[in-house]
C-alpha cells in the first residue's frame, strides 16, 4: 500500500455469467486488452483458477471473472483503506452491511465487500504492493442514489470524503477524496436506473460517439444520458449484454 492511494477507488472487478462475451464487449467498446493469470488459491472460491486482468495503455485496472455464488453480475469498485478489518467494523456500526467478511487475495492484499446504508455494493482494499492507483481505464464513478439521498455521513466517516452540490441538469452532488480529487458524482432519482442505490464505474474513451454506437450495436441498452448545463450530451449509462451497468464518458488521452 502507498499512502496516496488511501481513500481512492483503486480497482474494479466485473462479475459476469459469460466471461468471453464480456471480454469481447469491453475490448470493442473501451479498447481494453487482456492478460490471463493463474491463481493457486483463488479469492472467489479457492483452488486453482485462471482469472483475467483488463488493461489499457499496459496498465491493469480491473479484473473479470465468473460471477461467484451468492453474488450478482455486475461491477464492484474497491476503495483503498489502511485497515480492512477495522473499516469493516466501523462501516457496520455506521449502518452498512457486511456482504463478505475481510478475506485475503493471495499476492495482492486484503479485501471485503459491503453494502452502504442505501444498499449500494462496494469493496474495501488493502493493497500489499507498491503499484500506483490505475488511471487509464476509469474516471470519477457515478453513484446512482435511486430514491435515497447520497449517504454522505457514512462515506465521510469511512474515507474522509466530502460532498458539495454542483450545477448540472442531471448530476447533483460531487464527491471528493481526502486530497480534493474527484471520486464520484451522485445522480438523483432516475427511473431508468431503478429505485435502489448503486455504484457505476465510469469508463474512459477518447472516441465517445464511436464507443456508444458500438455498445448499442453489440446489444447494450441505453439507460440514462448525462447532459451538461447547456444540454449537451457528455456521457451515457448503459447496461451491457451480461447485465452489468456502466457509464461511458468522453475522456481524451493526454
Note whether 187 and 102 are same-domain residues.
Answer: no
Contacts of 194 (CB under 8 A, 6+ apart): 144, 146
- Inside any domain, residue 175: yes
Based on the fold, state whether residues 57 and 149 are members of the same structural domain.
no
- Do 169 and 88 share a structural domain? no
Single pTM value for the model: 0.92
Is the same domain home to 149 and 237? yes
The last residue of one of the domains, among 94, 127, 160, is: 127
pLDDT at 189: 57
8 part of a folded domain? yes
Q: Is residue 114, in this structure, part of any structural domain at all?
A: yes
Both 146 and 197 in one domain: the answer is: yes
Alpha-helical (H) ranges within the chain are 19-30, 84-93, 152-159, 208-217
> Are residues 15 and 121 both part of a single domain?
yes
Alpha-carbon gap, residue 225 to 208, rounded angstroms: 13
Which strands make up the sheet holding 49-56, listed edge to edge? Answer: 33-39, 49-56, 59-66, 9-16, 74-80, 121-127, 109-115, 97-105
Note the pLDDT of residue 254: 38
Q: Which tens digit of pLDDT belongs to each residue from 32-77?
A: 999 998 777 777 777 778 889 999 988 999 999 999 888 899 999 9
Q: Any idea what DSSP says for residue 18?
A: -
What pLDDT score does 229 carry?
A: 67
Q: Which domain holds residue 54?
A: 3-127
Same domain, 13 and 112: yes
Question: Are 54 and 151 within one domain?
Answer: no
Q: Which of 93, 127, 161 is the last residue of a domain?
A: 127
* 83 located within any domain: yes
Q: Is residue 20 part of a domain?
A: yes
Are residue 154 and residue 115 in the same domain, yes or no? no
Q: What is the pLDDT of residue 2?
A: 66
Helices (H), ranges, 101-197? 152-159
Which of 77, 108, 127 is the endpoint of a domain? 127
For residues 145 and 186, the answer to whether their CB atoms sit within 8 Å is yes
**Residue 132 domain-assigned (yes or no):** no
Calpha distance 176→184 (Å, rounded): 7
Residue 96, pLDDT score = 98
Going through the chain in order, the beta strands assigned E by DSSP cover: 9-16, 33-39, 49-56, 59-66, 74-80, 97-105, 109-115, 121-127, 138-144, 162-165, 171-176, 182-187, 198-205, 221-227, 233-239, 245-250
Query: What is the tally of structural domains in the chain?
Result: 2
Stretches where the chain sits below pLDDT 70 are: 1-2, 167-171, 189-192, 194, 228-229, 252-254
122 and 10 in a common domain:
yes
From the list 225, 226, 220, 222, the residue with the least C-alpha distance to 243 is 220
Give domain status of residue 55, yes or no.
yes
Residue 96 sits in the same domain as residue 146 = no
Q: Is residue 133 part of a domain?
A: no
| Whether residue 96 is found in the same domain as residue 145 | no
Identify the CATH number of the domain in which residue 168 sits.
Answer: 3.10.180.10
State the cell numbers at 67. 460471477
Q: How far apart are CA 241 and CA 250, in angstroms?
A: 21
Amino acid at each position: 500500500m502507498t499512502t496516496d492511494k488511501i481513500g481512492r477507488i483503486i480497482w474494479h472487478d466485473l462479475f459476469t455469467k459469460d466471461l468471453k462475451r464480456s471480454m469481447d464487449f469491453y475490448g470493442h467498446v473501451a479498447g481494453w486488452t487482456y492478460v490471463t493469470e493463474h491463481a493457486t488459491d483463488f479469492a472467489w472460491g479457492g483452488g486453482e483458477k485462471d482469472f483475467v486482468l483488463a488493461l489499457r495503455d499496459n496498465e491493469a485496472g480491473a479484473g473479470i471473472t465468473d460471477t461467484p455464488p451468492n453474488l450478482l453480475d455486475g461491477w464492484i469498485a474497491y476503495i483503498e483503506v489502511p485497515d480492512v478489518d477495522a473499516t469493516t467494523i466501523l462501516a457496520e456500526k455506521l449502518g452498512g452491511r457486511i456482504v463478505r467478511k475481510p478475506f485475503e487475495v493471495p499476492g495482492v492484499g486484503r479485501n471485503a465487500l459491503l453494502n452502504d446504508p442505501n444498499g449500494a455494493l462496494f469493496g474495501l482494499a488493502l493493497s500489499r504492493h507498491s503499484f500506483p492507483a490505475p488511471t487509464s481505464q476509469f474516471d470519477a464513478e457515478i453513484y446512482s442514489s435511486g430514491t435515497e439521498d447520497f449517504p454522505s455521513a457514512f462515506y465521510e466517516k469511512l474515507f474522509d470524503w466530502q460532498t458539495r452540490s454542483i450545477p448540472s441538469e442531471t448530476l447533483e452532488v460531487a464527491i471528493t477524496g481526502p486530497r480534493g480529487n474527484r471520486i464520484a458524482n451522485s445522480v438523483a432519482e432516475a427511473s431508468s436506473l431503478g429505485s435502489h442505490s448503486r455504484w457505476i464505474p465510469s469508463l474512459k474513451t477518447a472516441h465517445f460517439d464511436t464507443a456508444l454506437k458500438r455498445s448499442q450495436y453489440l446489444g447494450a441498452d441505453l439507460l440514462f444520458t448525462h447532459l451538461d448545463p447547456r444540454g449537451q450530451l457528455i456521457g451515457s449509462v448503459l447496461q451491457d449484454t451480461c447485465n452489468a451497468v456502466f457509464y461511458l464518458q468522453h475522456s481524451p488521452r493526454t
